[in-house]
Protein backbone atom coordinates (compact mmCIF):
# COMPACT_ATOMS: atom_id res chain seq x y z
CA UNK A 1 0.00 0.00 0.00
CA UNK A 2 1.24 3.50 -0.75
CA UNK A 3 1.47 6.22 1.88
CA UNK A 4 0.94 9.85 0.89
CA UNK A 5 1.50 12.81 3.19
CA UNK A 6 -0.21 16.08 2.20
CA UNK A 7 1.17 19.24 3.80
CA UNK A 8 -0.57 22.58 3.25
CA UNK A 9 -0.40 25.97 4.88
CA UNK A 10 0.47 29.63 4.34
CA UNK A 11 3.79 30.96 3.05
CA UNK A 12 6.91 30.34 5.16
CA UNK A 13 5.03 28.37 7.82
CA UNK A 14 7.60 25.56 7.65
CA UNK A 15 5.85 23.15 5.25
CA UNK A 16 8.89 22.51 3.08
CA UNK A 17 11.27 22.12 6.02
CA UNK A 18 9.00 19.53 7.61
CA UNK A 19 8.26 17.80 4.29
CA UNK A 20 11.96 17.37 3.45
CA UNK A 21 12.85 16.04 6.91
CA UNK A 22 9.92 13.61 7.04
CA UNK A 23 10.64 12.36 3.51
CA UNK A 24 14.26 11.76 4.53
CA UNK A 25 13.23 9.92 7.71
CA UNK A 26 10.95 7.47 5.87
CA UNK A 27 12.74 7.29 2.51
CA UNK A 28 9.77 8.94 0.76
CA UNK A 29 9.95 11.15 -2.34
CA UNK A 30 9.11 14.84 -1.87
CA UNK A 31 7.57 17.45 -4.17
CA UNK A 32 7.48 21.16 -3.30
CA UNK A 33 4.45 22.01 -5.46
CA UNK A 34 4.99 25.76 -4.98
CA UNK A 35 7.94 25.39 -7.36
CA UNK A 36 5.55 24.50 -10.20
CA UNK A 37 3.68 27.80 -9.80
CA UNK A 38 6.93 29.72 -9.23
CA UNK A 39 8.34 28.29 -12.47
CA UNK A 40 5.18 29.14 -14.44
CA UNK A 41 5.29 32.70 -13.09
CA UNK A 42 9.00 33.04 -13.90
CA UNK A 43 8.75 31.69 -17.46
CA UNK A 44 6.48 34.62 -18.38
CA UNK A 45 4.36 34.98 -21.51
CA UNK A 46 1.04 33.15 -21.52
CA UNK A 47 0.88 31.37 -18.12
CA UNK A 48 -1.53 28.71 -19.39
CA UNK A 49 0.86 27.73 -22.19
CA UNK A 50 3.78 27.81 -19.72
CA UNK A 51 1.91 25.45 -17.39
CA UNK A 52 0.96 23.08 -20.24
CA UNK A 53 4.60 22.97 -21.45
CA UNK A 54 6.27 22.86 -18.02
CA UNK A 55 9.25 20.46 -17.87
CA UNK A 56 10.89 19.02 -14.74
CA UNK A 57 14.08 21.01 -15.46
CA UNK A 58 12.08 24.28 -15.21
CA UNK A 59 11.80 23.62 -11.47
CA UNK A 60 15.54 24.22 -11.07
CA UNK A 61 15.60 27.66 -12.75
CA UNK A 62 17.56 30.34 -10.92
CA UNK A 63 15.67 32.90 -8.85
CA UNK A 64 12.57 30.86 -8.05
CA UNK A 65 12.93 31.38 -4.26
CA UNK A 66 12.73 35.18 -4.27
CA UNK A 67 9.78 37.16 -2.88
CA UNK A 68 9.08 38.48 -6.41
CA UNK A 69 8.87 34.93 -7.77
CA UNK A 70 6.45 34.10 -4.92
CA UNK A 71 4.19 36.99 -5.89
CA UNK A 72 4.26 36.03 -9.58
CA UNK A 73 3.45 32.43 -8.60
CA UNK A 74 0.48 33.52 -6.52
CA UNK A 75 -0.96 35.53 -9.43
CA UNK A 76 -0.70 32.70 -11.97
CA UNK A 77 -1.96 30.21 -9.36
CA UNK A 78 -5.34 31.97 -9.34
CA UNK A 79 -5.91 31.08 -13.04
CA UNK A 80 -8.08 27.91 -13.20
CA UNK A 81 -6.50 26.65 -16.47
CA UNK A 82 -3.01 26.93 -14.96
CA UNK A 83 -4.08 24.86 -11.96
CA UNK A 84 -5.75 22.17 -14.06
CA UNK A 85 -2.68 21.91 -16.34
CA UNK A 86 -0.57 21.02 -13.27
CA UNK A 87 -2.88 18.49 -11.60
CA UNK A 88 -1.75 15.36 -13.47
CA UNK A 89 1.94 15.98 -12.83
CA UNK A 90 1.31 16.26 -9.07
CA UNK A 91 -0.97 13.22 -8.88
CA UNK A 92 1.44 11.11 -10.92
CA UNK A 93 4.25 12.16 -8.60
CA UNK A 94 2.20 11.19 -5.55
CA UNK A 95 1.73 7.69 -6.97
CA UNK A 96 5.23 7.30 -8.41
CA UNK A 97 6.70 5.68 -5.28
CA UNK A 98 5.21 3.78 -2.31
CA UNK A 99 5.80 6.83 -0.08
CA UNK A 100 5.40 10.48 -1.10
CA UNK A 101 5.23 13.86 0.63
CA UNK A 102 3.75 16.82 -1.25
CA UNK A 103 3.59 20.33 0.17
CA UNK A 104 1.56 23.26 -1.12
CA UNK A 105 -1.84 24.91 -0.66
CA UNK A 106 -4.39 22.43 -2.05
CA UNK A 107 -2.73 19.04 -1.59
CA UNK A 108 -5.11 17.71 1.07
CA UNK A 109 -8.19 19.30 -0.47
CA UNK A 110 -7.74 18.82 -4.25
CA UNK A 111 -4.59 17.00 -5.36
CA UNK A 112 -4.48 14.10 -2.88
CA UNK A 113 -7.80 14.07 -0.99
CA UNK A 114 -7.15 10.38 -0.20
CA UNK A 115 -3.79 11.06 1.49
CA UNK A 116 -3.13 8.87 4.53
CA UNK A 117 -1.98 11.91 6.54
CA UNK A 118 -2.92 15.56 6.00
CA UNK A 119 -1.31 18.44 7.81
CA UNK A 120 -2.05 22.16 7.86
CA UNK A 121 1.03 23.98 9.09
CA UNK A 122 0.78 27.55 10.38
CA UNK A 123 2.79 30.10 12.39
CA UNK A 124 2.00 33.71 13.28
CA UNK A 125 2.49 36.26 10.48
CA UNK A 126 5.29 37.98 12.39
CA UNK A 127 7.21 34.78 13.06
CA UNK A 128 6.89 33.62 9.46
CA UNK A 129 8.14 37.01 8.23
CA UNK A 130 11.09 36.92 10.65
CA UNK A 131 12.10 33.42 9.53
CA UNK A 132 11.77 34.26 5.83
CA UNK A 133 13.61 37.58 6.20
CA UNK A 134 16.46 35.74 7.93
CA UNK A 135 16.53 33.12 5.17
CA UNK A 136 16.58 35.67 2.31
CA UNK A 137 18.57 38.39 4.10
CA UNK A 138 15.67 40.74 3.34
CA UNK A 139 13.76 43.48 5.18
CA UNK A 140 11.30 41.98 7.67
CA UNK A 141 8.56 44.62 7.23
CA UNK A 142 8.68 44.21 3.45
CA UNK A 143 8.47 40.41 3.77
CA UNK A 144 5.57 40.66 6.24
CA UNK A 145 3.55 42.78 3.78
CA UNK A 146 4.43 40.40 0.93
CA UNK A 147 3.39 37.28 2.87
CA UNK A 148 0.10 38.85 3.94
CA UNK A 149 -0.74 39.94 0.40
CA UNK A 150 0.08 36.49 -1.00
CA UNK A 151 -1.81 34.59 1.71
CA UNK A 152 -4.90 36.79 1.20
CA UNK A 153 -4.85 36.13 -2.56
CA UNK A 154 -4.26 32.39 -2.07
CA UNK A 155 -7.12 32.08 0.43
CA UNK A 156 -9.61 34.18 -1.57
CA UNK A 157 -9.23 32.66 -5.06
CA UNK A 158 -12.24 30.79 -6.47
CA UNK A 159 -10.38 27.62 -7.49
CA UNK A 160 -8.58 25.46 -4.92
CA UNK A 161 -8.23 28.20 -2.29
CA UNK A 162 -5.71 27.68 0.49
CA UNK A 163 -7.53 26.08 3.41
CA UNK A 164 -7.14 23.08 5.72
CA UNK A 165 -8.80 19.82 4.66
CA UNK A 166 -11.54 18.87 7.13
CA UNK A 167 -9.48 15.92 8.34
CA UNK A 168 -6.13 17.74 8.50
CA UNK A 169 -3.99 17.76 11.62
CA UNK A 170 -3.28 21.40 12.51
CA UNK A 171 0.30 22.21 13.50
CA UNK A 172 1.23 25.72 14.70
CA UNK A 173 5.03 25.95 14.55
CA UNK A 174 5.25 29.46 16.11
CA UNK A 175 6.68 28.15 19.37
CA UNK A 176 8.32 25.00 18.00
CA UNK A 177 11.90 24.49 16.88
CA UNK A 178 12.38 22.75 13.55
CA UNK A 179 13.32 19.53 15.37
CA UNK A 180 10.20 19.69 17.57
CA UNK A 181 7.90 20.31 14.59
CA UNK A 182 9.48 17.47 12.59
CA UNK A 183 9.28 15.09 15.57
CA UNK A 184 5.53 15.70 15.91
CA UNK A 185 4.94 14.86 12.28
CA UNK A 186 7.15 11.76 12.40
CA UNK A 187 5.14 10.57 15.39
CA UNK A 188 1.87 11.20 13.51
CA UNK A 189 3.13 9.20 10.50
CA UNK A 190 4.11 6.28 12.74
CA UNK A 191 0.73 6.29 14.49
CA UNK A 192 -1.19 6.51 11.21
CA UNK A 193 0.81 3.79 9.46
CA UNK A 194 0.09 1.32 12.31
CA UNK A 195 -3.67 1.61 11.81
Ligand X SMILES: Nc1ncnc2c1ncn2[C@@H]1O[C@H](COP(=O)(O)OP(=O)(O)OP(=O)(O)O)[C@@H](O)[C@H]1O
Ligand Y SMILES: Nc1ccn([C@@H]2O[C@H](COP(=O)(O)O)[C@@H](O)[C@H]2O)c(=O)n1
Residues that bind ligand Y (CB under 6 A): 11, 33-34, 37-38, 70, 73-74, 77, 104-107, 150, 154
d(Cα 163, Cα 99) in Å, to the nearest integer? 24
CB 5 within 8 A of CB 19: yes
Say whether 72 counts as a known binding-site residue. no
By a kind-dependent CB cut-off of 5 to 8 A, residue 73 interacts, out of ligand X, ligand Y, none, with ligand Y
**Measured from the CB atom, is 95 or 191 closer to ligand Y?**
95
Q: Select from 156, 143, 125 the least CA-distant residue to 70.
A: 143
d(Cα 141, Cα 53) in Å, to the nearest integer? 36
**Measured from the CB atom, is 49 or 58 closer to ligand X?**
58
Q: Select from 48, 9, 2 the least CA-distant residue to 168.
A: 9
According to DSSP, the β-strands at 117-122 and 29-32 are unpaired
Say whether 16 counts as a known binding-site residue. yes
Taking CB under 6 A as the rule, which mask of x and - marks residues 34-73 in contact with ligand X? x---------------------------------------
**Measured from the CB atom, is 52 or 188 closer to ligand X?**
188
CB 5 within 8 A of CB 166: no
| Residue 52 half-sphere exposure toward CB, CA atoms < 13 A | 8
By a kind-dependent CB cut-off of 5 to 8 A, residue 47 interacts, out of ligand Y, ligand X, none, with none
Question: For ligand X, which stretch binds (CB under 6 A), given 77-85, 90-98, 164-172, 177-185?
Answer: 177-185
By a kind-dependent CB cut-off of 5 to 8 A, residue 77 interacts, out of ligand Y, ligand X, none, with ligand Y
SS (H, E, C) 71-105: HHHHHHCCCHHHHHHHHHHHHHHHHCCCEEEEEEC
Question: Site for ligand X (CB under 6 A): which residue of 4, 5, 6, 15?
Answer: 15
Say whether 10 counts as a known binding-site residue. yes
Contacts to ligand X by CB under 6 A:
9, 11-17, 34, 131-132, 135, 173, 176-178, 181
Amino acid sequence: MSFTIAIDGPAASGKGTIARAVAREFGFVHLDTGLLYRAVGAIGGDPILAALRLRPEDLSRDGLRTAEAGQAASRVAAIPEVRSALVDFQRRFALSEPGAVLDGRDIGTVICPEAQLKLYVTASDEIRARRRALELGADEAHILAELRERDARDAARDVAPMRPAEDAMLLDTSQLSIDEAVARVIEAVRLRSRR
